[in-house]
Structure 1
């Protein structure tokens, strides 16, 4: 009879971490990041709590990862620890252990509950080739539509999705002076099932207008968290309950 595995003690502290994907590191997949993060945890010798079972693994929970190829200033992960530590120390240790471009921005103690449940919406910037006036016309056409259907290849095959429904707000303006793009779109996108990504919205824009997106629009997630239904603002999930 196979011997039962030793039961691990539950975490005594949980920390929530906000990190960024910048520069060339935006092309790392979620799997790539999880491997890099676990290596960083081991290099930093963090007092991790482990799961029970025949194959214990460090208690790390990932939430709301951005699509591969998009930059982000608002990615989140939660870790469970076997000892109580100062979040500032964990911040410094992880920042030193992770590669440049995967940058730790904030570490706070978890108040409990589900981090994933707090991630109701995201705010994105999309830098596109079109000039601001052209982009504004495309945005008006998109927002005026009741439904904008786009196709995306999924694990279950080609699927038709309505990319208009989860769009909370969409505004076109000029791109920053240091950007090669012509216009910047400011998009607030509600997290829905099925999931709609910002590139789905860009395809929808092109479908309802002749807007020029360019060969590789730069997508950057600026915020991710609870959605204020009155203002349309995406709030900070690390301080949502404080």
Structure 2
């Protein structure tokens, strides 16, 4: 009989981490980031807890990763540790070990429960070269429609879904440097509606075709206040 693997001890502490994807690192895929993060915890000598089994892995749980190509100020993960450590020390060690552009912003002790359960919505900023008046008219038409169907290729093939249903709020403001910004809050749904899906919906509903490639940035991710249409801090709950 094959010898059974050694059972690893459960984590004695869990830390939740908020990090950013900035600049050219926005093109980092989730798989690339997970590899970079595992190398970072090894270099930083963070006392990770490991899973049991024949191929133990460090206990890292990722939640709500942004699409490749979009920047983000609100990416989250949770790590399980074999020792109790100072979150501020882990913050400093990881920020030093990760490449510039993958920046650790906050490290707190887990309050328990599931981190993913607190990630109900995202606040996105869509920066466009188009003038605010044109974009505002397109957004107004989009919001006045009950349903806007778009298509996107997924792992299961081409899927059609309603991108309008996920939009909680959307507002357009002019940019000082020219162009405009759409501030949009998206409810997390299945399948997930992304900001590029909203752009596809604006094209389909109002004929808006951006003059240049849009810059997508996730500003916040967390619990949704349905009444205010705002996104809260998942590390504060």
1:68 alignment partner, SS class: coil
With 114-123 and 211-220 compared, the bigger mean Cα shift is at 211-220
Q: Which residue of 1 aligns with 2:108?
A: 108
- Number of equivalences: 237
Distance in 1 between residues matched to 2:234 and 2:20, nearest whole Å: 15
1:139 alignment partner, SS class: helix
> Please, what TM-score do these two structures have when normalized by structure 1?
0.96
**Unaligned 5+ runs, structure 1:** none
1:223 alignment partner, SS class: strand
Distance in 1 between residues matched to 2:5 and 2:74, nearest whole Å: 37
Distance in 2 between residues matched to 1:129 and 1:233, nearest whole Å: 26
2:232 alignment partner, SS class: coil
Q: C-alpha offsets along residues 158-188 of structure 1, whole Å, 9 cap, x if unaligned?
A: 11111000100010111243xxx51100000
**Unaligned 5+ runs, structure 2:** none
RMSD between aligned residues = 0.9
Q: Which residue of 1 aligns with 2:118?
A: 118
1:36 alignment partner, SS class: helix
CA deviation after TM superposition for structure 1 residue 206, in Å: 1.2
Moved over 4 A (4+): none
Asked if structure 2 preserves the Cα contact closer than 8 Å seen for 1:130 and 1:211, the reply is no
Asked if structure 2 preserves the Cα contact closer than 8 Å seen for 1:225 and 1:237, the reply is yes
Q: From the superposition, tell whether residues 218 and 52 of structure 1 become closer, same or farther in structure 2 (CA, over 3 Å).
A: same
Distance in 2 between residues matched to 1:214 and 1:51, nearest whole Å: 49
Q: Which residue of 2 aligns with 1:37?
A: 37
Distance in 1 between residues matched to 2:176 and 2:124, nearest whole Å: 15
> Please, what TM-score do these two structures have when normalized by structure 2?
0.98
